[in-house]
Amino acid sequence: MDAIDGKIVEILQHDASLTNIELSERVNLSPSSCLRRVQRLKDQGVLVKTVALADPDKLNRGLMAIVDVTLERHGADARQIFIDKLILEPAVGQAYGVTGETDIVLIMNLTDMKEYRDICDRLFTHDANIVKFRTLFAMECHKYDTAIPVNVT
C-alpha cells in the first residue's frame, strides 16, 4: 500500500459517502485511477464494508455495557458454544477474546436495565461454563472513533 492508498483509506474511514469524483479530487487522481485503487483495496480486504454509523441514543440504545466474562473451560469447543450464543444476541455489538484474567470482553448497547438483566439470564447466569462476569456501564463517552490509523511505509 502506497501513500495514495493510505490517504484513500483515511478519507473513506471518515466519510464513505463521498462520490468517486470527490474522492479522486482529494487525492489528486483521475476518477478512473481512484476507482481502480478503491476496488483493489476492497479486493485485498483492506476496505471491508461500507456502513452508516447510527447514534445509539436516537435508537433508544444509549445504555452501553462493557462486560468481561471468565470461562471455566477454555477448550475450543466450550469456548465456541458461548461465542455462538453471544453472536446471536443483537445487543452485543462487539466481542473480543482477550488475555489476562478475563477471557472475553463484550460491548453491548442496551435500551434499559431490564434488557441487561434478560441478557444476563440468557448468556451468563444459566451457563455452567461461566465462572464470573463483571459489567461496567459507560457514564460518558470521551472518544469514539471507528477509523483505524493508517501507517504507510
Phi, psi of 100 (to 5 degrees): 100, -160
Instruction: Give the H or E element holding residue 6.
Output: helix 3-14
pTM for this model (two decimals): 0.87
| Distance of alpha carbon 93 from the chain centroid | 6
Asked whether the beta carbons of 43 and 51 are under 8 A apart, the reply is no
Secondary structure of residue 144 in the 3-state scheme: coil
DSSP string, 79-135: HHHHHHHHHT-TTEEEEEE-SSS-SEEEEEEES-HHHHHHHHIIIIIT-TTEEEEEE
| Nearest-angstrom CA–CA distance, 41 and 11 | 13
C-alpha cell at 43: 479486493
pLDDT, averaged in runs of 10, over the chain (153 residues): 96 97 98 98 97 95 98 90 95 97 97 98 94 97 94 81
Q: Which pLDDT belongs to residue 9?
A: 98
| Nearest-angstrom CA–CA distance, 103 and 95 | 10
C-alpha cell at 50: 461500507
**Burial environment of residue 69 by CB neighbours within 10 A (0 to 12, 13 to 18, 19 or more):** buried
Q: Which pLDDT belongs to residue 76?
A: 85
Domains by residue range for the chain, with CATH: 3-43 (1.10.10.10), 63-137 (3.30.70.920)
Q: Which pLDDT belongs to residue 50?
A: 94
